[in-house]
């Protein structure tokens, strides 16, 4: 009488080991890829927020200009020539290299009775490693003595 070989219940064949290693490597590759994409997206969000704050800063400068055309003496400092194009570094911390952005302030008269002007600030910048420019725009309306 011949005895059958005893197979250990936890024994794996070479094919099972290779398949399990492939599943683990594909899973780890996906996780690492998503981690990389999250880091790039986080860096983009930091640049976008810094550009938005730079545009809001330009808007606040325009809001601080004296605009009282009916006063004595009449004063109107709210004109585009008082706000030249401004190039500055985006404040994104130390996560990436230096990125420059440009603020362009446009002021136009919307209505003459009542007297209302629109202040628009465009902040243009480019994301490192991507082609093209991105523009953040903020605007507000302003009447005399506001």
- pLDDT tens digits, residue range 21-49? 999 999 999 999 999 999 889 889 989 99
DSSP state of 82: G
CA angle 66–139–132, rounded 5-degree value: 130
> Which residues of 47-99 form beta strands (DSSP E)?
67-68, 75-76, 86-89
Residue 96: the pLDDT is 66
Interacting residues of 58 by C-beta distance below 8 A, sequence separation 6+ = 83, 86, 103, 105, 121, 123, 138
* 1: pLDDT strictly greater than 90: no
Chain mean pLDDT for the chain: 88
Tens-digit pLDDT profile for residues 7-20: 666 667 888 888 89
Paired with 101 in beta bridges are 88, 125
What's the rounded Cα separation, in Å, for the pair 135 and 124? 4
Specify the pLDDT at position 16.
Answer: 84
| Alpha carbon separation from 126 to 17, 32, 56, 78, 96 (Å, rounded) | 48, 26, 18, 29, 13
Total Cβ atoms within 10 A of residue 1? 2
Percent of the chain with pLDDT over 70: 90
Report yes or no: 39 and 46 within 8 Å, Cβ to Cβ: no
What is the distance between the alpha carbons of residues 69 and 144, in angstroms, rounded to a whole number? 7
pLDDT for res 95: 63
Q: What is the pLDDT of residue 17?
A: 85
pLDDT in tens, 46-59: 899 999 999 999 99
pLDDT of residue 10: 65
The CA distances from residue 145 to 66, 77, 82, 100, 115, in Å, are 8, 12, 18, 34, 11
Per residue in 69-120, pLDDT (tens digit) is 888 888 899 999 999 999 999 988 776 678 899 999 999 999 988 899 999 9
């Amino acid at each position: 009488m011949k005895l059958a070989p005893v197979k250990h219940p936890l024994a794996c064949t070479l094919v099972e080991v290779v398949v399990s290693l492939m599943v683990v490597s594909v899973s780890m590759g996906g996780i690492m890829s998503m981690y990389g994409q999250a880091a790039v997206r986080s860096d983009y969000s930091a640049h976008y927020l810094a550009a938005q704050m730079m545009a809001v800063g330009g808007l606040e400068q325009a809001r601080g200009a004296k605009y009282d055309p009916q006063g004595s003496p009449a004063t109107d400092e709210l004109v585009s020539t008082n706000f030249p194009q401004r190039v500055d570094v985006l404040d994104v911390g130390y996560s990436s290299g230096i990125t420059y952005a440009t603020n362009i302030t446009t002021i136009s008269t919307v209505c003459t009775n009542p007297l209302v002007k629109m202040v628009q600030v465009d902040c243009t910048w480019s994301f490192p490693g991507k082609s093209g420019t991105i523009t953040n725009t903020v605007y507000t309306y302003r009447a005399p003595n506001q």
